[in-house]
């Protein structure tokens, strides 16, 4: 018998239909993946099961959990279910914990509320649970606060809270999206073990097909609130019965065409980074001793040649972004020198940097945060034009903006819109338009596609590749996603704890990683091909 059964579920918020006739079932100790792009209704399905929908939501259909009619249950019944029989893990470990309470209090809270256990007993159980999720007492006493933990550790606490009462069903909404691949693999392992131990049902919500394939026994694919395909994971994906399933699978494995690859050593370097280090002031341990500085970037050297595409990969916090900022002259190195087109840019005044800045632009990760919400596209995209020797007249400027928009696949009419009128993928196009408007020689892209859906991701990667081929722009891709590195770069640099530990041609490094850090990254990276093959093999 199914643990959770969703039948013909329809949901509308106000006048907007969100879900249409969704069916889904989960049996005990089964992992079901719910896949779809943003706005497809994945999270809304989860919130319906928890009955945590916004006020204006109207539901239709049937949701039964363990014999209880969820849609008809009273709020008191739901309160008893939530956190006891149904646990939930959210995407953002940074905000899912209450910053003013210790982790012990937060894990014990649910135990005390639902079991009416005393403080001592609840804390003892909380302790056991934290041990179980890999936060041992010696290093992580109950009295730790969330801010003292890293992202992966916080997600472990969130999982401990959700699983403390051995729920029959765990809903995990993008539990690893905010984490790097190595942490992701660890968290997925933990979830898999917990499912096996407690005969728990797991509803795993993700936009990442590879992750879901590795984890789920069955999967359901959602698109615009409708089920596009459902069934056994391996079969659904290998048969690709539904065109949308095929589309999704292809998009997640997409490799843009780059006929002209660039081999190192064929030209004079465009960018040279020479034993650059960056220290940040550390925490003072004593009043009388000076604080030990923290070395974020440690003696890094690299070169990029014109039209070459280089990927800088590494786990979060390894110093990738700090290095990027120094290359962009937004941050000053503690030691070392950075040369762009043969000229040293470190330590130069802002006015002298103008020519260098003109040829060096940046694309950021978050397409939502990288635009001033109060300005129109024309002004936003034209921002780097300010670097030109001669300021273009208004008409000429509009012309240039229109041209840049055209190059990234947007129309001239988009010029008079505000950023919020665009979708995430379109905003990333705007971001690229802004970066190429001055015809730069180098574009630094900091996780440019990690916030995007797979199909949009494929389009943006194509766009990057096209601009590289057409305009000969060199790239420095900063990413923790090896598929991006593989798809886009000629050369890969692996960074670990501030140092570059491995470098070489992309295929060489990713196929035969030699350093420990690179091996960890490669083995942890989810791979759709591999996952499907393994699934099929398991089934014989």
Partner 1 sequence: MTMRVDLPEETLAGVLAKAFGNRSFLIGFAITLLVAAVAILSFIWTPYDVTRLVIADKTQAPSPAHWFGTDHFGRDILSMIMVGARNSIAVALVAVGIGMGVGVPLGAFAAARGSLADEALMRVNDLVFAFPALLSAIMITAIFGPGAVNAIIAIGIFNIPVFARVARAGALAIWPREFILAARAAGKGMTQISVEHILPNIATLLLVQGTIQFALGILAEAGLSYVGLGAQPPMPSWGRMLFDAQTRMVTAPWMAIFPGMAIVITVLGLNLLGDGIADILDPKSRRRR
DSSP letters spanning 130-144: HHHTT--TTTS-TT-
Stretch that binds partner 1, among 32-40, 183-191, 297-305, 471-479 (CB under 8 A): 32-40
Find the binder of partner 1 among 25, 129, 387, 524 (CB under 8 A): 387
Q: Check binding of 386 to partner 1 (CB under 8 A).
A: yes
Give the total of residues touching partner 1 (CB under 8 A). Answer: 46
User: What is the distance between the alpha carbons of residues 510 and 505, in angstroms, rounded to a whole number?
Assistant: 9
Q: Check binding of 353 to partner 1 (CB under 8 A).
A: yes
Spatial strand order of the sheet with 335-340 comes to 294-304, 271-280, 335-340, 343-344
Minimal distance, residue 260 CB to partner 1, in Å: 27
Strands (E), 134-224: 169-173, 201-206, 218-223
Minimal distance, residue 512 CB to partner 1, in Å: 35
Q: Which CB sits closer to partner 1, 80 or 353?
A: 353
User: What is the distance between the alpha carbons of residues 328 and 347, in angstroms, rounded to a whole number?
Assistant: 12
Minimal distance, residue 386 CB to partner 1, in Å: 6
User: What is the distance between the alpha carbons of residues 16 and 44, in angstroms, rounded to a whole number?
Assistant: 13
Closest CA to 460 of 421, 482, 438, 431: 431
Closest CA to 67 of 81, 53, 84: 81
User: What is the distance between the alpha carbons of residues 423 and 425, in angstroms, rounded to a whole number?
Assistant: 6
Q: Check binding of 173 to partner 1 (CB under 8 A).
A: yes
User: What is the distance between the alpha carbons of residues 90 and 99, in angstroms, rounded to a whole number?
Assistant: 16
User: What is the distance between the alpha carbons of residues 175 and 196, in angstroms, rounded to a whole number?
Assistant: 18
Q: In terms of DSSP bridges, do strands 226-232 and 218-223 run parallel, antiparallel, or are they unpaired?
A: antiparallel
Tokens standing for residue 365? 């990760």
Stretch that binds partner 1, among 8-16, 186-194, 347-355, 492-500 (CB under 8 A): 347-355
In the shown chain, the binding pattern of residues 177 to 196 toward partner 1, with x for contact by CB under 8 A and - for none, equals x-------------------
Q: Check binding of 52 to partner 1 (CB under 8 A).
A: no
Minimal distance, residue 438 CB to partner 1, in Å: 9
Find the binder of partner 1 among 17, 28, 39, 317 (CB under 8 A): 39
Find the binder of partner 1 among 258, 434, 457, 499 (CB under 8 A): 434
Q: Check binding of 424 to partner 1 (CB under 8 A).
A: yes
Minimal distance, residue 258 CB to partner 1, in Å: 25
Rg (alpha carbons) of the chain, rounded to whole number:
25
User: What is the distance between the alpha carbons of residues 7 and 21, in angstroms, rounded to a whole number?
Assistant: 7
Q: Which CB sits closer to partner 1, 277 or 321?
A: 321
Minimal distance, residue 394 CB to partner 1, in Å: 16
Q: Check binding of 364 to partner 1 (CB under 8 A).
A: yes
Residue 505 Cα to chain centre, angstroms: 25
Do 169 and 4 contact (CB within 8 A), yes or no? yes
Q: Which CB sits closer to partner 1, 168 or 357?
A: 357
Q: Which CB sits closer to partner 1, 253 or 388?
A: 388
Q: Check binding of 439 to partner 1 (CB under 8 A).
A: no
Q: Which CB sits closer to partner 1, 140 or 371?
A: 371
Minimal distance, residue 238 CB to partner 1, in Å: 25
Q: Which H/E stretch holds residue 402?
A: helix 394-407
Q: Which CB sits closer to partner 1, 139 or 374?
A: 374
Find the binder of partner 1 among 133, 205, 227, 478 (CB under 8 A): 205
* Residue at token pair 């020519």: 355
Residues 366-385 interacting with partner 1 (rule: CB under 8 A): 366, 368-375, 380, 383-384
Q: Check binding of 91 to partner 1 (CB under 8 A).
A: yes
Stretch that binds partner 1, among 65-73, 126-134, 183-191, 354-362 (CB under 8 A): 354-362
Stretch that binds partner 1, among 81-89, 336-344, 355-363, 523-531 (CB under 8 A): 355-363
Q: Check binding of 207 to partner 1 (CB under 8 A).
A: yes
Sign of the C-alpha dihedral computed for residues 105, 107, 108 and 114 taken in this order: positive
Residue 453 Cα to chain centre, angstroms: 10
Residue 357 CB partners (closer than 8 Å, separation 6+): 329, 384, 387
User: What is the distance between the alpha carbons of residues 446 and 322, in angstroms, rounded to a whole number?
Assistant: 11
Q: Check binding of 361 to partner 1 (CB under 8 A).
A: yes
Q: Check binding of 36 to partner 1 (CB under 8 A).
A: yes
Find the binder of partner 1 among 69, 406, 421, 511 (CB under 8 A): 421
Minimal distance, residue 534 CB to partner 1, in Å: 26
Residue 222, class by beta-carbon neighbours within 10 Å (0-12 exposed, 13-18 middle, 19+ buried)? buried
Phi, psi of 534 (to 5 degrees): -65, -45
Find the binder of partner 1 among 185, 328, 442, 456 (CB under 8 A): 328
Minimal distance, residue 371 CB to partner 1, in Å: 5
User: What is the distance between the alpha carbons of residues 209 and 377, in angstroms, rounded to a whole number?
Assistant: 33
Tokens standing for residue 484? 């991006």
Stretch that binds partner 1, among 116-124, 212-220, 348-356, 479-487 (CB under 8 A): 348-356
Q: Check binding of 42 to partner 1 (CB under 8 A).
A: yes
Residue 402 CB partners (closer than 8 Å, separation 6+): 412, 415
Q: Which CB sits closer to partner 1, 34 or 187?
A: 34
Q: Which residues form the interface with partner 1 (CB under 8 A)?
A: 36-40, 42-43, 91, 173-174, 177, 205, 207, 328, 330, 350, 353-354, 357-358, 360-362, 364-366, 368-375, 380, 383-384, 386-387, 418, 420-421, 424, 431, 434, 451
């Amino acid at each position: 018998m199914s643990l959770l059964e969703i039948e013909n579920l329809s949901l509308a918020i106000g006048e907007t239909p969100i879900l249409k006739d969704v069916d889904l079932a989960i049996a005990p100790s089964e992992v079901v993946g719910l896949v779809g792009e943003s706005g497809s209704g994945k999270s809304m399905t989860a919130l319906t099961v928890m009955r945590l929908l916004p006020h204006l939501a109207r539901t239709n259909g049937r949701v039964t959990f363990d014999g209880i009619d969820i849609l008809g249950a009273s709020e008191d019944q739901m309160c008893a279910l939530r956190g006891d029989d149904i646990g939930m893990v959210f995407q953002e470990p940074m905000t899912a914990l209450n910053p003013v309470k210790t982790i012990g209090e937060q894990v014990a809270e649910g135990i005390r509320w639902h079991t009416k256990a005393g403080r001592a007993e609840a804390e003892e159980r909380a302790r056991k649970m934290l041990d179980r999720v890999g936060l041992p007492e010696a290093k992580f006493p109950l009295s730790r606060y969330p801010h003292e933990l890293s992202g992966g550790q916080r997600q472990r606490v969130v999982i401990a809270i959700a699983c403390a009462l051995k729920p029959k069903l765990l809903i995990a909404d993008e539990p690893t999206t905010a984490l790097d691949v190595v942490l992701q693999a660890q968290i997925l392992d933990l979830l898999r073990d917990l499912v096996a131990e407690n005969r728990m049902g797991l509803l795993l919500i993700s936009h990442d097909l590879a992750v879901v394939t590795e984890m789920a026994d069955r999967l359901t694919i959602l698109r615009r609130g409708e089920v596009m395909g459902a069934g056994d994971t391996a079969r659904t994906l290998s048969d690709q019965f539904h065109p949308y399933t095929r589309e999704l699978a292809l998009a997640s494995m997409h490799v843009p065409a780059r006929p002209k690859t660039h081999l190192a050593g064929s030209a004079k370097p465009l960018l040279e980074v020479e034993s650059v280090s960056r220290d940040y002031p550390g925490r003072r341990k004593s009043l009388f001793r000076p604080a030990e500085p923290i070395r974020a970037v440690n003696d890094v050297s690299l070169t990029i040649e014109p039209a070459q595409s280089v990927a800088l990969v590494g786990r979060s916090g390894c110093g990738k972004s700090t290095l990027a900022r120094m290359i962009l002259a937004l941050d000053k190195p503690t030691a070392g020198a950075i040369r762009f087109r043969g000229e040293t840019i470190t330590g130069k005044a802002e006015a002298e940097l103008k020519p260098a800045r003109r040829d060096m632009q940046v694309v950021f990760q978050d397409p939502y945060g990288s635009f001033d919400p109060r300005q129109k596209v024309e002004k936003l995209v034209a921002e780097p034009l300010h670097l030109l020797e001669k300021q273009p007249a208004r008409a000429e400027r509009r012309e240039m903006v229109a041209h840049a928009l055209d190059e990234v696949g947007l129309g001239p009419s988009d010029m008079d819109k505000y950023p919020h009128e665009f979708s995430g993928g379109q905003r990333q196009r705007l971001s690229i338009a802004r970066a190429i408007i001055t015809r730069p020689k180098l574009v630094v892209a900091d996780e440019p596609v990690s916030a995007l859906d797979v199909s949009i991701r494929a389009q943006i990667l194509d766009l990057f590749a096209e601009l590289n081929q057409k305009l000969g722009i060199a790239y420095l891709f900063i990413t923790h996603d090896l598929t991006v590195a593989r798809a886009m770069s000629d050369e890969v640099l692996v960074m670990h704890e501030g140092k570059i530990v491995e470098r070489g041609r992309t295929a060489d490094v990713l196929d035969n990683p030699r350093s420990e850090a690179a091996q960890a990254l490669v083995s942890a990276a989810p791979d759709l091909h591999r996952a499907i093959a393994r699934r099929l093999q398991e089934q014989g």
